[in-house]
């Protein structure tokens, strides 16, 4: 398993995968740790999670450099990612006990209530694009609920995986409450089938989700899946055009376009279409791309050269299918995996940029005759993760928000995750929710406790 710097193309580190026997030992150790951890009071778990937040804040610059080296994230974005992880730890340290407090229910019993018990060892299969955030948004609620976690991180970010394990150790967590396993994806099946693994969460592509869910289903183990997206941003004819352009540009280029909730399809009402396309292309052409460690860089390289080549193929295919290329669209000379901000206009259903998820800095702009067509185009996707609307009419926004098939709809703003609000998708974007009180209840046994008449 190799870490390759995507800006320079140089191999930074090679990691030897752990043997099946080592993996088995680690899962057994995690299960043993679970039996004490589940009885550890909330206050103590919270103290440790606040301590993890402090470690993250102390090490944010060093961890941002690690992300820049392993997957090309621009340094300032890396620092923000670590700060967000720390906030998520604080959030669950402060609120988990309340989210999981017994809920009393009036019934025929003398007393009856619902309790939330942890499940045990949870396997987390995670992607490279937000190598800390994706893991912490799983780990913070799961550990506070009394579960223990084993992480199978993406093969290109083994350094981040080991750093996360170290952060929990440095914060004082008991050994094996959280561990990173260095294994390739072909060996995930065996881990899912391990009798001591109780549930699985995967953040990644739809094919990986399908495979993991199939295996877990055959073992009757619960899964939460956070998969791909092709988020539609609807710019209606009464929108503030400049706000829409700026927000749509920013959202498409988050993390060099490698975000599940980056805006991918821009559906613009006919009266604004020509002006939107022109302003959008101007903004894209002004973005500097390249060295993630240079403060002047807007977007860094893509995480791997093979992923960059895949994005370029989708762009070329869309142009061949009749879209207009207004910016970018060519692989720059030199080593590494850079790709320029790319604008495709006049995109239609049936074209690659409309039908597929493009995981890179390429925007697809689509014209819609009216509101009904805009909604129909937004929903004409196998995905349903996030969506955004631009309009000055609040009532109209609330009405359209309910028509959109997505896990979240943002109005006059770009889609983002927030520890206080649920996050997840519908259709091929997955199922289950992370974050908020909904996320922490995904991996618990929702237990009914019934008291008959009090005994004398």
Catalytic residues: 226, 260
Rounded to 5 degrees, φ, ψ at 339 are: -150, 135
Min. distance of Cβ 331 from ligand NAP in angstroms? 19
Min. distance of Cβ 205 from ligand NAP in angstroms? 3
Residues 390/243, Cβ–Cβ less than 8 Å? yes
Of 356, 453, 445, 450, residue with least CA distance to 119: 445
Residues 295/76, Cβ–Cβ less than 8 Å? yes
Residues 121/150, Cβ–Cβ less than 8 Å? yes
Of the pair 186, 220, the CB lying nearest ligand NAP is at: 186
Of 456, 428, 430, 431, residue with least CA distance to 442: 431
Farthest CA pair distance, the chain = 84
> In the structure encoding, which two tokens stand for residue 83, read together?
């700060």
Of the pair 128, 443, the CB lying nearest ligand NAP is at: 128
Q: Alpha helices, DSSP H only, in 329-450?
A: 352-355, 371-379, 394-401, 436-440
Interacting residues toward ligand NAP by CB under 6 A: 125-129, 134, 152-155, 184-185, 188, 203-205, 208, 211-212, 226-229, 260, 357, 359, 385, 425, 430
Min. distance of Cβ 75 from ligand NAP in angstroms? 20
Min. distance of Cβ 156 from ligand NAP in angstroms? 6
> In the structure encoding, which two tokens stand for residue 82, read together?
């670590």
Residues in the chain: 456
Of the pair 137, 198, the CB lying nearest ligand NAP is at: 137
Please tell me the distance from the alpha carbon of residue 160 to that of residue 163, in angstroms, as a whole number. Answer: 5
Min. distance of Cβ 275 from ligand NAP in angstroms? 30
Min. distance of Cβ 302 from ligand NAP in angstroms? 11
Of the pair 250, 278, the CB lying nearest ligand NAP is at: 250
Please tell me the distance from the alpha carbon of residue 412 to that of residue 322, in angstroms, as a whole number. Answer: 30
For residue 211, how far is the Cα from the chain centroid? Answer: 18
Please tell me the distance from the alpha carbon of residue 425 to that of residue 368, in angstroms, as a whole number. Answer: 24
Of the pair 137, 279, the CB lying nearest ligand NAP is at: 137
Of the pair 26, 45, the CB lying nearest ligand NAP is at: 26
């Amino acid at each position: 398993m190799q870490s390759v710097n995507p800006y320079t193309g140089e191999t930074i580190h090679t990691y030897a995968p752990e043997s099946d026997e080592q993996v088995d030992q680690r899962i057994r150790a995690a299960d043993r740790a679970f039996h004490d951890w589940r009885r550890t009071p909330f206050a103590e778990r919270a103290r440790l999670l606040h301590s993890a937040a402090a470690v993250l804040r102390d090490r944010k610059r060093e961890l941002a450099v690690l992300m820049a080296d392993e997957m090309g994230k621009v340094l300032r974005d890396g620092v923000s990612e670590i700060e967000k992880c720390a906030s998520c730890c604080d959030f669950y340290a402060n609120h988990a006990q309340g989210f999981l407090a017994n809920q009393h229910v009036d019934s025929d019993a003398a007393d009856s209530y619902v309790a939330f018990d942890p499940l045990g060892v949870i396997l987390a299969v995670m992607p490279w694009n937000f190598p800390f955030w994706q893991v912490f948004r799983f780990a913070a609620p799961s550990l506070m609920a009394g579960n223990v976690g084993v992480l199978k991180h993406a093969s290109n970010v083994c350094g981040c995986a080991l750093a996360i394990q170290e952060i929990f150790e440095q914060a004082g967590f008991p050994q094996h409450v959280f561990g990173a396993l260095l294994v390739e994806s072909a060996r995930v099946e065996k881990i899912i089938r391990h009798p001591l693994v109780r549930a699985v969460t995967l953040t990644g592509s739809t094919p990986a989700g399908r495979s993991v869910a199939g295996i877990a289903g055959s073992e009757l183990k619960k899964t939460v899946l956070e998969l791909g997206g092709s988020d539609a941003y609807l710019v209606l004819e009464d929108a503030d055009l400049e706000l829409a352009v700026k927000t749509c540009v920013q959202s498409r280029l988050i993390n060099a376009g490698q975000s599940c909730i980056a805006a991918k399809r821009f559906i613009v009402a006919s009266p604004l279409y020509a002006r939107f396309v022109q302003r959008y292309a101007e903004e894209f052409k002004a973005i500097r791309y390249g060295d993630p460690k240079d403060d002047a860089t807007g977007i860094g390289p893509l995480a791997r050269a093979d992923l960059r080549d895949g994005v370029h193929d989708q762009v070329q295919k869309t142009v061949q299918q009749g879209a207009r290329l207004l910016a970018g669209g060519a692989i720059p000379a030199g080593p590494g995996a850079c790709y320029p901000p790319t604008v495709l206009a006049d995109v239609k259903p049936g074209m690659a940029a409309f039908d597929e998820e493009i995981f890179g800095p390429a925007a697809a702009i689509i014209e819609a005759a009216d509101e009904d067509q805009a909604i129909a185009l937004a929903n004409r996707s196998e995905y349903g993760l996030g969506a955004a609307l631009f309009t000055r009419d609040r009532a109209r926004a609330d009405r359209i928000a309910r028509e959109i098939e997505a896990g979240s709809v943002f109005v006059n703003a770009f889609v983002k995750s927030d520890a206080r609000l649920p996050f997840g998708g519908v259709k091929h974007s997955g199922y289950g929710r992370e974050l908020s009180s909904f996320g922490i209840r995904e991996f618990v046994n929702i237990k009914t406790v019934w008291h008959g008449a009090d005994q004398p």
